[in-house]
A and B are shown apart, each in its own frame.
Chain A
Amino acid sequence: MNALLPTLLWLPALASAQLHIRADVDKTEVAVNDQLVLEVTVNGPEANLPEPRMPNLPNFSVYSSGRNQSLSIVNGKVSSSIVHTYVLAPRFVGQGSIGPIEVQYQGKTFRTEPIQIQVVRPAAGSSPSAQGQPGRPSRPRAAPEPDSGRELFVTAELDKKRAFVNEQVTLSVRFYTSVNLLGNPQYVAPSLSGFIAEDLPPERHGNVMIRGRMYYFSEIKTALFPAQSGPLRVGAALVRAPVQGDLAVDPFAADFFERFLSMSAPKTAELTSEPIVLNAEPLPEQGKPPGFSGAVGLFLIAAATDRQRAKAGEAVNLTVTLQGTGNLKALGEPVMPDLSSFRVFDTVSSLNLDKKQDLVKGSKVFKTVLVAKASGDISIGPISFSYFDPQSRSYKTVQTDAIRLKIDPAPEGSQPAAMESSGPRGLTAVSRDIRYLKAPRSRSLGRWLEHVANAGPIHSLPFAIFAGFLCAFQIRARRQADPAAARAAAAVGLASRRISEAVKEGDSRRSAALMSAALTGYLADKLNCSASGLTFRRAQELLRQRSSRAPQSLMEDLRRLWEQIDRLSFAPQTDGEDQAGLASALGALLKDLEKELKR
C-alpha cells in the first residue's frame, strides 16, 4: 500500500482545491517619496500555482521584486507556497487601497482582503535621495547632457552595447526634473520586442547638478535578456509629468512677477527617451556541450535525497538545486542520470528570485519522487548542468557528486513498486546488465564438430573409399558385359591358386586332380569352352585356332605335361617331389601359354 501512495496522491483529482492567498505590506503609512513592500503569498497543493492578478492601483507605481517558492513533497503529496514581492511607489498624497488581489484556481476565485494605505507628504527635512533598498545604491555618475534650458527630460541607457543571447543587460530609464511637479509622473515602459524583461525595483531617486542646475531624478531599472541574436531595439520610454503651463521661464528666477505670471494652467508634459539598439551575439557553436539548454550566466548545482536508506517501493525525494545569476525563469531541467532502477514521477520545479544589486539571481529547485524498484546499492548521478559563462566567453559544466542509496528489500506482502496497481502482473524491467559467469563445459557438440573440421587429410579417406567402390562397380559392370573376357582374365589367377593347393596336398592323386583342374580350367577359360570333357586334342585344336603361330614345342610341352598329370592321377602313391616338380612345370607352361595367348 505504501508503494501506491505516490501514485494515488499524484492524481489531480485528489489535489484538493484548498488554496490560500494572503497580502501583507511592510507599512500602512508611507510618504509620497517613499516606497512600500507588498508580499502576496499563495499556498496550494501543487507546484505550479497560478500567478496572482494585481488590481488596478492608480495611486501607485507597481514593480515586481521577485518571487520565492518553497516546495515540499511528503509521501508524494506536493504542497507549495509562493511569495510574490512587489515594490509600490505612491504617486499621490491621500488615502489609497491595495486589493483585493485575486487568483483563479480550478474555476474558483480566491482573493485577499483590501489593505488601506495612507500616503502622506514627506516629512520636513527628509531627503528622498539615495533610496532604493534593497537595490543597488544610486551611483553618483556623470549625468547626461540635457538640451540646454530643458527643465524636464528622460534618458535611457543600457549597461552594455553588446551581449550574448540570454545574457542580462540592465536598462536604466531616468526622469530628470528641475521644476516642481504638480503630481507624480506616469511611466510608460518602452517596447522591448526580442527581450525577456524583468523589473529591478525599487525606483530610485536623487538630486544631481547638471550645468549648474539642480535636478531631481527618478530612475527605473529593468533587466533584459535577449531572446534572439542580432540587433534588438529598445523603444522610447515615455514619462507623463503634470507641470505648470509655460515652463519656458526659469522657475528659480528671482523675479517674483515673472514666476507668478508663469503659473498658468497645469498641463501634462510627455517626455520620451531616445531608442537604443543592442547587438545580441549568438552563443558560439564550438565547444557547446551535449545537453546544453541555453542557460547563460553563472550557476552552481547541488543534489540531495531526503534519505540515504529506504526500502524497495518507498518514495525517496531527489532535490536538484540550480543556483546562480542569469535568466532563472528560462532555466531548463539539468540532464538527469540513468534512473532505470526507479520509478520516476514527474519533476516539479520551484523558482526563487532575488534582484539585489540589479542582478537577477536566485535558485531553481527541481524535485523528483523516486521509488526504488528493487533492493541493492544504487548510485544516482552525477547530475550535470551546462551553461555559457559570458565573462570567460566559454561553456562550463558543473556536476554533483554521485548520491549513494541503500535500498533494502520491501517487507513481505507489500506491493512491489514496479507493478501496476491493477490488471495482470508481468515482469518489469528494473535495470539492464550483462549476464553472470558461466561454468566451463567439458564436452560440447561445438567442440566435437570443431575437431571434425580440424581433421585435415583424414577427410580424403571417404573420397578414396568412394573411388574404390566406384572402381569395383565399374569392373563388375564390365565383367557382366563380356563374360568370356572376364573368364579369360581370371584364368591364370584361378589356375595358380589350384597349383598352390596341389603342391600342399599330401595325396598325390588329389594333387594330380587339382593340377588337372588347373590346366583344363585355364585352357577352358582362355579358350571360352567348357572344362568338363576337354581333351588334349580338342585343346590343341582350339589353341591352333586362337594362335596359329603357336610353336610346336609349346604344344609338345602341353601334351607331355597333360600325360604326366594323367599318369599321376592313376599311378600309385608317389612322393611329394614328383608333385612339386610337376607343379613347377605346370606353372612354367601356364606362363608360356599366357604369353602366347596375349600376342
Chain B
Amino acid sequence: MSVLLGLFLALAWPSSFGEAQKRYDSGDYRAAAGLFQDLVAKNPSDPILRYNLGNAHFKSGALGPAIASYQRAFDRLPRDPDIRHNLEFALNKAGEQLVPSGIPPILFRLFWWFSKRELAGLHWIAAWLALLLGGLSLYRRDLRPRLGRPAAACLAFWAIFGLWWLARRNLDPRPMGVIVRPTAELRSGPGERFSVSFTAPEGRRAQILSQEGDWLEIGLIQEGVKGWIAASSIEPI
C-alpha cells in the first residue's frame, strides 16, 4: 500500500524541469522555486539547476536565496555567461559587485574560468599523463624522443593547475554565506543581549568565521567588518 502511495505521489508530483518551467513562465515563481528545489535535492551538483532555482527565487523577490543559488552555480560553472550575468545582476541589487574593485575584469574572468573542482580534475589528469609518459620514456629509451616533450608539457600543466587550485583555495573566502533576511542585524556578540553594530542588506555575501550556538560570527567581504548574526539569517554556501 505504501509503495503504491509512493508511486502515486511520484507520478503526481510535478518535479520535472518542464513543469517548473511552466510555473515560472506563468509567473508562479514560488511554486517554480519549490519544484527547482526538489530537482536540486535530487542532483545537487548540477549548476544549471541551481541557476534555475536562483532565477525562481529572484523573481519571487527572495534576493538572498537567489544570490546563494547563483553563487553555488557560479562555484561549479564560473565560465557560464548566464550564471555570471545573473549573479552579477543580483549582487548589484544587493549593493555588491562580483568583480572586486581594482581587479581588471578580464583577469577575474580568466582566474575564475574553471571551478575549483575542475581545476583539481585537470590537475589530476595532468599528473596521470605526466607520470605515465615520464615513466614510459624513462623505461623505454627508444620512445624517449617521442614522449619526452609531451611528458614535460604534462608536468608543466600539472604544476600550473596545482598552483592555480591552491591559489583559488586560499583566495576564496570559505566557508561563505549569504544574508537571507531583509536588513539583518550584526551584533557585537553571540546573543541578543549584545548591541547591534551594523545592519546588512539581504543578499550581502559574508565569510563565516566561527559559530557559537545559534549565532555565527561573520565578516562582510566588501566592507571589511565583522559581527555576530543569528544563524537563521544567513544561508551557508
Question: How many residues on the A side are at the interface (Cβ–Cβ under 8 A)?
Answer: 32
CB distance from A287 to the nearest CB of B (A): 16
Partner of A450, one of B21, B45, B135: B45
CA distance A437 to B45 in the complex (A): 17
Q: Decide yes or no whether A447 CB sits under 8 A from chain B.
A: yes
* Selected interface stretch from A15-23, A29-37, A193-201, A465-473: A465-473
* Selected interface stretch from B104-112, B114-122, B195-203, B223-231: B114-122
* Selected interface stretch from A88-96, A183-191, A255-263, A451-459: A451-459
Contact, CB under 8 Å: A452 / B125: yes
Most buried by B among A432, A451, A462, A465: A462
CA distance A432 to B52 in the complex (A): 18
* Selected interface stretch from A108-116, A218-226, A414-422, A438-446: A438-446
Known: A437-B55, A466-B131, A470-B135. Contact between A449 and B122, CB under 8 A?
yes
Known: A434-B89, A437-B21, A472-B139. Contact between A452 and B76, CB under 8 A?
no
Contact, CB under 8 Å: B121 / A453: yes
B131 to chain A: which residues have CB within 8 Å? 462-463, 465-466
Q: Decide yes or no whether B48 CB sits under 8 A from chain A.
A: yes
Known: A440-B49, A468-B135, A472-B139. Contact between A434 and B117, CB under 8 A?
no
Contact, CB under 8 Å: A459 / B124: yes
Contact, CB under 8 Å: A469 / B136: yes
CA distance A351 to B52 in the complex (A): 50
CB distance from B41 to the nearest CB of A (A): 14
Q: Decide yes or no whether A595 CB sits under 8 A from chain B.
A: no
Chain B, Cβ-Cβ closest to A451: B121
Q: Decide yes or no whether B82 CB sits under 8 A from chain A.
A: yes
A439 to chain B: which residues have CB within 8 Å? 17, 48
CB distance from A429 to the nearest CB of B (A): 13
Contact, CB under 8 Å: A469 / B139: yes
* B interface residue count range (under 10 / 10 to 19 / 20 to 34 / 35 or more): 35 or more
Q: Decide yes or no whether B194 CB sits under 8 A from chain A.
A: no
Contact, CB under 8 Å: A449 / B86: no
Contact, CB under 8 Å: B127 / A473: no
Contact, CB under 8 Å: B117 / A453: yes
Contact, CB under 8 Å: A466 / B132: yes
Contact, CB under 8 Å: B55 / A450: no
CB distance from B215 to the nearest CB of A (A): 30
CB distance from B186 to the nearest CB of A (A): 21
A449 to chain B: which residues have CB within 8 Å? 117-118, 120-122, 125
Contact, CB under 8 Å: A473 / B138: yes
B-facing mask of A115-149, CB < 8 A → 1, else 0? 00000000000000000000000000000000000
Which residues 50-75 of B sit at the A interface, judged by CB distance below 8 A? 51-52, 55, 58-59
* Subset of 8 A-B contacts with CB under 8 Å: A439-B48, A440-B46, A441-B48, A446-B117, A452-B120, A454-B117, A459-B128, A462-B131
Besides A453-B117, A466-B135, A468-B135, 15 more A-B contacts (Cβ < 8 Å) are A432-B89, A434-B55, A437-B24, A437-B51, A438-B52, A446-B118, A449-B120, A450-B45, A450-B76, A450-B118, A452-B124, A455-B124, A462-B131, A466-B134, A469-B139
3 closest Cβ contacts across the A-B interface?
A449-B121, A469-B135, A453-B120
